[in-house]
Amino acid sequence: MTRLTSDGDGVDRRRFLAATGGLGVAGLAGCMGTESDDEDDDADGGSSIGQIGSGRAGRDAPGGTSMSEMPDLSGELTVYSGRGEFLVGELVTYIEELYDDFELNVRYGGATDLVNTITNEGEGSRADVFYSVNAGSLGALADAGRTQSLSEDVTGMVRSEFTTEQWIGTSGRARTVPFNTDSLSESGIPDDIMAFPDEFDGDLGWAPSYGSCQAFVTAMRIIEGEEATREWVESVVESGITPYNNEFAACQGIADGEIDAAFTNHYYIQRVLDGNPEASIDTAFTSGDAGAVFNVAGAAVVDTASDATLAENFVRHLLSAEAQDYFARSTFEYPLIPDVEPVGNLPTIDELDVPDIDLTELSDLEATIDLMRDAGAEV
Domain holding 280: CATH number? 3.40.190.10
Tell me, yes or no, whether 150 and 248 share the same domain.
Answer: no
Identify whether residues 135 and 208 lie together within a single domain.
no
| pLDDT for 185 beyond 90 | yes
Q: Are residues 218 and 157 in the same domain?
A: no
One-letter amino acid at 314 equals F
Could you tell me if residue 21 is inside a domain?
A: yes
Answer yes or no: do 262 and 330 share one domain: no
344 in a domain, yes or no?
Answer: yes
What local confidence, expressed as pLDDT, does residue 309 receive?
98
- Same domain for 228 and 309, yes or no, is no
Mean pLDDT (whole number) for 33-53: 31
Q: Identify whether 303 is part of a domain.
A: yes
Query: pLDDT for 99-134, tens place per residue?
Result: 999 999 999 999 989 999 999 999 999 999 999 999
Is the pLDDT assigned to residue 25 strictly greater than 80? no
* pTM higher than the cut 0.75: yes
24 versus 186: the higher-pLDDT residue is: 186
Q: Is residue 379 part of a domain?
A: no
Per-residue pLDDT at 229 exceeds 80:
yes
Q: Is residue 128 part of a domain?
A: yes
pLDDT at 3: 74
Rounded mean pLDDT, 173-192? 96
Structural domains counted in the chain: 2
Q: Residue range 67-88: average pLDDT? A: 95
Is the domain of 244 the same as that of 316? no
Predicted pLDDT at 7: 47
Q: What is the mean pLDDT of residues 293-316?
A: 97
Is the domain of 112 the same as that of 167?
yes
Question: What pLDDT is recorded for position 102?
Answer: 97
366, 253: one domain: yes
Name the pLDDT band for 56 (thresholds 50, 70, 90): low
153 inside domain: yes
Query: Is the confidence at residue 32, as pLDDT, over 70?
Result: no
Please report which confidence band the pLDDT of residue 59 belongs to, taking 50, 70 and 90 as the band edges: low
Claim to verify: residue 179 and residue 77 sit in the same structural domain: no
184 and 248 housed in the same domain? yes
Residue-wise pLDDT for 239-263, tens only, equals 999 999 999 999 999 999 999 999 9
48 and 197 part of one domain? no
Question: Is pLDDT at 13 greater than 50 in this prediction?
Answer: no
How high is the pLDDT of residue 11?
32
- 193 and 44 within one domain: no
Q: pLDDT tens for residues 323-375?
A: 999 999 989 999 999 889 898 889 999 999 999 999 988 888 889 999 999 99
Instruction: Give the range of the structural domain holding residue 239, as residue numbers without chain letter.
Output: 173-294+352-374
